[in-house]
Structure 1
Amino acid sequence: MNSLLLFILMASALSLVLSIVGHRLPTRNADQEKLSPYECGFDPKAAARLPFSLRFFLVAILFLLFDLEIALLLPLPAALSARNPQPGFLLAAAILGILTLGLVYEWLEGGLEWAE
């Protein structure tokens, strides 16, 4: 019980010291760019609604989809080394088949062409 109380006391003291140092240490010289609502090079007085490329969005979604495919296929080696590897293999084949059909559909619809 004493070690738990000591741990809580040390954690509280460390949090307090770090909070005080964090507020006192940095200089707070705010310039015009830091005070503006946009810090990434956009003009805050210009229109906030810029046109967005739908093709870029589609390519980003496809990248995320195939990135998730890798995460779904990570347990495949463990499934194939089991006593009965057939269910794992069939599941992996089904995932790859569905994704391949989706890729072929996107390709035929022209969703992968960047410029028209």
Structure 2
Amino acid sequence: MALVPLAGKGNFMHIFDFRVLPGRGEEFIRLFEEFDYSDDNPMHKSPAQVKDGVLCRDTNDADHFYLIGEWTDIKIHAEIGKLIALEYKPAFMALVAGGKFIPTYAEVVSSTPQDILDKAA
């Protein structure tokens, strides 16, 4: 399998770092997938999305999660996120501890060029 960079230089990563209500992790995952994989999710319809997000669970804390994805435009991502929170109100959001589901955005400033990765493979 060929190596590929996790993200492309010049794009942006959204990183949600959050906790769910104690002991509700499995329920959160189920509800998140219900919404995320549905035709109702406007994130998947945006051309600004480069790579679909991944939901990760902390191996040391079952109530701690990260949601990471790659976009070309963080303003569009933020607008869609606001739309989801205000209009779609997915059930998984009720399980986020503290009620805050807000990302940190980071610009990808270095990404190994494909020719370097190809040599490593």
- Asked if TM exceeds 0.5, the reply is no
TM-score between the two structures when normalised by the length of structure 2: 0.22
Where relative contact order (Cα < 8 A, 6+ residues apart) is larger, the structure is 2
Q: Which has the higher strand share?
A: 2
